[in-house]
Amino acid sequence: MSFGNYLLASCKLWVLFLQHSSSALAGLRSPMSVNDREVMGRELFSGHLDNKKKRRLKPNVFMPKDKKGISVNRLSLAPRDLFLALARRHLYKRRRRATATNFYGFAEISAGDIRNASIGGSDNRCEVQGTVTAANPFHADIRLPPDTEKDARLEVARQLLEAARYEPLK
Amino acid sequence: MYTSVDAISIDTDVSIVAHAPSTTRTLAPDPLEQLLRVFSSLQHVPMASSTGTASGAVAFEASNPAGTMYEAGPREEEPGLEAWTGARLSAWLQQASRDHELAVIAMDPNSERAPAANLVAEIEELANFEDDWDMHGASRVHRNAIENAASFAWKLGAFASQFEPFADPDGSAGLEGHTAKGDVYLSFAPSGRVAYVVKTKSGMHRGYGADESVLRQLLAGLL
């Protein structure tokens, strides 16, 4: 994955984001707000898929290291190959410094399904919000319900896993 | 080359199968010599050491985390290598395997402990994950977490075949199980605390810091 391809993909994403932002602002919406119908994608690397049944997602797909958010891409707002270019760049950087890791595609889930995931009732739901990064303006974070203990995070991961589906690389 | 051995099973008197991470190989025809060779090539041996003496006598030692030491092998006054038939080695390994904490076990391949041994071998593979394995800052799986999960896996017996391990980004070792009665998700922290989620048709239970009796009760309804 050359740096040039990565840079080009990032530039294309920014152009698309500016278009998205203008139409969102014209409709008096924030470009960061995520529609329930939007498809979010969690990058899948080695360790996220079952070793024996490669197509089955493991619960750790939606488990963050701590109580911070879970990074996803707003897949429905830009061509898939642009997000793939970013993921492959991550992988390239990783391979330069550590052991082999593979990229397997995305775990896809709708924003509506993310918001349906809750702990102890409807007042304690997950939320998803656009969080622009320099390389990826269509980056978003799934925010967990506040003050969730480890078992609650495990339960949220289970609910998100149930709603998600694995989209392998073509 | 083996870097660790998680389980050793005796198929016959002359065949030993060693389950190492990502590897299953049949060692034959001289099981004792082959086993010794495997042991001597280990870079990481949590449970055992082996020694060979100039006279050809062989001894195996294995210790568990509690410090209990098992010893086997011909003493100086005993006959040499030829006395250690596969059957005798098998008998010793079976004796040693009675300690659940021991990483070396001997078993008949049809033993009800075979699924647990396989699961433990898979859990040990979690040690291969390095920091940032998920590209989002995950911690490597802590050795204590792996041992806690493996210790629990031994207690699952034949039901272990319904469980699979996963790396928890916070450094814990996870196990997920799926049965006809429901699903269970466990995360074993290095500290010894366990987070669990059990979902059955009758409802969902979850908790953090559960002791084993609670876990066993929950699993009893599931398995």
ipTM above 0.90, yes or no: no
Amino acid at B156: L
The more confident residue out of B217 and B138 is B138
Of B57-71, B85-99, B121-135, the poorest mean pLDDT is in B57-71
A60 and B122: CB-CB below 8 Å?
Answer: no
Give the integer Cα–Cα distance in Å for A18 and B34.
66
Contacts of B169 in chain A (CB under 8 A): 60, 63-65
CB atoms closer than 10 angstroms to residue A25:
11
Phi and psi (nearest 5°) for B168? Answer: -90, 130
Which segment, A48-52, A71-75, B32-36, B201-205, is predicted with the most confidence on average?
A71-75
Give the integer Cα–Cα distance in Å for A7 and B137.
23
CB atoms closer than 10 angstroms to residue B204:
13
pLDDT digits (tens, 9 = 90+) for B185-209: 999 999 989 999 999 888 888 888 8
CB A159 within 8 A of CB A145: no
State residue B109's pLDDT score: 44
Domain-by-domain residue ranges, chain B?
7-97, 126-220
pLDDT at position B171 over 50: yes
pLDDT digits (tens, 9 = 90+) for A106-136: 999 999 999 999 987 778 899 999 999 998 9
In chain A, what percentage of residues exceed pLDDT 90?
Answer: 59
User: Which 3 state secondary structure label does DSSP give B217?
Assistant: helix
CA distances from A82 to A38, A140, A168, B60, B64 (A): 17, 15, 16, 57, 51
pLDDT digits (tens, 9 = 90+) for B88-114: 555 555 554 443 233 333 334 445 666
**Best of B161, B162, B206 to disrupt the A interface by mutation (most A CBs within 10 Å)?**
B206
Q: What pLDDT band is residue A46 in, cutting at 50, 70 and 90?
A: confident
CATH of domain B126-220: 3.10.450
pLDDT digits (tens, 9 = 90+) for B6-20: 444 433 332 333 443
State residue A1's pLDDT score: 56
Residue of A59, A66, A151 lying closest to B166 (CB–CB):
A59
Domain-by-domain residue ranges, chain A?
3-168
Give the integer Cα–Cα distance in Å for A62 and A49.
12
pTM score, whole prediction: 0.72
